[in-house]
Amino acid sequence: MKKHLLYLLLLSCAALSAQTNTQELIDKLTLDEKIYFLIGTGMDIPGVPDDAKPAEAVVGSTSNKVEGAAGTSYAVPRLNIPSVVFADGPAGIRISPERESNPGQTFYATAFPTASSLSSSWNTALAAQVGEAFGIEGRDYGVDFLLAPALNIHRNPLGGRNFEYYSEDPVLGGMITAGFVNGVQSTGLGATIKHFVANNSETNRTALNTVVSERALREIYLRGFKIAIEESNPWAVMSSYNKINGTYASENKELLTDLLREEWGYQGFVMTDWFAGTDAVAQIKAGNDLLMPGTAAQFNAIKKAVEAGELDIKTIDRSVKAILDAYQKTFAFKGYEASGKTNLEEHKAIARKAAHEGMVLLQNVENTLPLKPESKVAVFGTTSYETIAGGTGSGDVNKAYSVSLAEGLKQTALITDAELDAVYEAYVKEERAKIPPKAMFFLKDELVPEKSWTTAELEAIAAKNDVAVFTLGRTSGEFQDREEADDFLLTETEKALLTDLKKAFSAPGKSLVVVLNVGGVIETEFLKNHADAILLTWQPGQEAGNAIADILTGTVNPSGKLPVTFPVALNEVPSSANFPGKPLDPDAEKPANPLQGVPSEEIYKEGIYIGYRYFDSFEVPVSYPFGFGLSYTTFAYENLKAEADDVITLQFSVTNTGDAAGKEIAQLYIAAPQDGLEKPKQELKAFAKTALLQPGQSEQITFTVKPEDLAFYDTTKHAWIVAGGQYTFAVSGALNAVKLKATLVLSETVVEQTKALLTPEQAIEELSRK
């Protein structure tokens, strides 16, 4: 620990010295070298047009410095400026596990639980611990920047990359992001928060125009980013693919300069998503400093604009300075020699712990869980034998191994049905062999189809076992959103098997446990009527099977709660009416280039009413509410004290009143006066997770609420305003599961005056409660 702190101190001191030399370096750079600083060294992808290929490296190509990394910067050897390495990694450092330069050595990274799982822990300290492990692996493998975390909003259950994102709520997402970023950057690795902003669907994402009101942008889609920047100061921000009200995010001066730099005061640099935008010069003018992964066409366009007087060299110098200020904090600039070896053993324990805390117990009829030692267990479902560690695309991880649930259960005191295991293992092997390998790594994985069973077979299995455990699996990834049929909804085979399993095991008085190994929300109404217990595990990383087994056996008490709402039906989610957008030309053909999309438009007619804000405000029943999660123990909340001064302070105690040790997540929801500006019924403003409380043990919790936390954005006044009137502060175990309540009367206050930004050209008829 002392060595780690000393290293960080030396890095910090060196960073201060380096920043004073930034201008000196800029003054020594030629025009070509400056332009090369604004683009990466490229990424050679089959099928990409020649003008999108890497630029010729006149100042030192570094595209293969760390094999499998997403990108690198140019080096300037004459000035001793090294290249820096960017690697994907929302669930783990994404690099190649093998290198031609190091035959016989492997570079596997730890596959941690996906973002939806991590946010279900509601544990910012855990997020920091996971982030620190990311940072250590990045450092040891030669990476300088992590292209993560991603904190876009779960706007619709079918979002293809929802597994990479944290929540439907910007406060939860922003705070978990900040914890993760602080952990990453404590090691000296730079973090990049993305995708800025409103990249909430994958369909036609590079040609999609997101039409959204300024209020919805500020209160929902931008708020998480603002929280993350204020609480963690990430070294970089990545602009998104989509247009926002007619202008590409990477070409949007209002977004990247007026709001991010001037209004928010952000001091880091901005990079594009890979191959985003269409106009390199517009991107630089807008304040998008680095164009990734870098192309010859971008270099030529920028140089031509400078020579023609269309792009001021001062603008280029501004971006070079922002980039160099960050680069000089990196391992590469410090001359750090990556060892190529990292502590995978220690990190797999962190991955297992994170998986524990992100699992959500949704149903537990008559204490079906935890399973009793030496219970005989019949393990059903192909995903029990091919448990899904994470999603696909840039969010995937090249890991050394992945533990299936079937494997994990064999390490416990439970007795699994060996004959049934053998049947499933043979079936999965045979069916997997029929599935061709993916053409490209970012395509969605194809899962083995579910196996069918006859009634007689199930009854025979039920006769010799005490409980059935069935895993239902789903996967998703980049470039495509999910479908309602056979994805959000259960397949007919799954429904038939669940129906028959429930009947076969219920008849002799035995139980059925359903494990949800999914990356996003699915329908659960059918499951609630066909399962005795439901455990949501999300995609829990490489230690999946071990972690799930720990929860099922009671070795670990589940403590996760939902970061999203599970609706009764997809059509009851308001964004479903316009998700994922519509092509401007219905007859347009899909481009051959996978990086391009069909020009489309997606209008956010639901406005601020996303997730629980809609269901709660419009009194629409849900399957499972935001913030919900069961435990193997119970908790009592007591002694609420509320005080208002410059800030509002709420103090209370949480006591474990059950028989098992456990952790509780306390949530603060605030209802504002409803006169004047329309508002949601209530909103999450703070949360805290207790330590592991033994039976009878208590913990004191304090929530601090600042005036800006209570403000809503008034687009007619272009200001954040705290409305005057009575506020209700509800300390809850989940949305509307109120434990303690206080009311305070506050005066109207203008918290911040801004200017109009990012307003749509067309009027939007948004949802309204009035």
Q: Is the CB of residue 181 less than 8 Å from the CB of residue 131?
A: yes
Beta bridge partners of 702: 651
- Pairing outcome for strands 582-583 and 600-603: antiparallel
Q: Is the CB of residue 513 less than 8 Å from the CB of residue 552?
A: yes
Cα(103)–Cα(26) distance, rounded to whole angstroms?
39
Cα(360)–Cα(693) distance, rounded to whole angstroms?
18
SS3 261: helix
Catalytic residue at 675?
no
Q: Is the CB of residue 154 less than 8 Å from the CB of residue 564?
A: yes
Taking Cα atoms as reference points, which of 635, 611, 639 lies closest to residue 625? 611
**CB-CB neighbours of 453 under 10 Å:** 19
Burial readout 732-744 (b: 16 or more C-beta within 10 A, e: otherwise): bbbbbebbbebee
- Pairing outcome for strands 738-746 and 725-732: antiparallel
What does DSSP assign to residue 365?
Answer: G
Whole-angstrom Cα Rg for the chain: 26
**CB-CB neighbours of 704 under 10 Å:** 12
Q: Which residues contact 304 (CB under 8 A, 6 or more apart)?
A: none
Determine the straight-line distance between the first and last CA of the chain, rounded to whole angstroms: 57
What does DSSP assign to residue 154?
Answer: -
Q: 187 is written with which tokens?
A: 């090691």
Q: Is the CB of residue 549 less than 8 Å from the CB of residue 570?
A: no
Q: 134 is written with which tokens?
A: 């990311």
List Cα–Cα distances, 146 to 238, 389, 391, 524, 632, in angstroms: 11, 20, 18, 35, 37
Q: What are phi and psi of 98, to 5 degrees?
A: -130, 155
Taking Cα atoms as reference points, which of 198, 214, 268, 226 lies closest to residue 755? 214
Cα(622)–Cα(678) distance, rounded to whole angstroms?
23
Taking Cα atoms as reference points, which of 411, 370, 399, 385 lies closest to residue 546? 411
Cis peptide before 293 (omega within 30 of 0): yes
Name the region of 119 (left: φ>0; alpha: ψ -120 to 50; beta: rest): alpha
Q: Which of 88, 273, 396, 709 is catalytic?
A: 273
**Residue that the structure tokens 């033994």 belong to:** 694
Q: Is the CB of residue 290 less than 8 Å from the CB of residue 320?
A: no
Q: Is the CB of residue 221 less than 8 Å from the CB of residue 713?
A: no
**Residue that the structure tokens 């409103």 belong to:** 198
Sheet holding 190-196: strands in order across? 71-72, 85-88, 145-147, 190-196, 236-239, 269-272
Q: 385 is written with which tokens?
A: 């034998």
Cα(412)–Cα(410) distance, rounded to whole angstroms?
6
- Pairing outcome for strands 533-536 and 360-364: antiparallel
Q: What share of the chain is helix, strand, coil (3-state, %, to 5)?
A: 35, 20, 45
Q: Is the CB of residue 250 less than 8 Å from the CB of residue 277?
A: yes
Could you list the active site residues?
Answer: 273
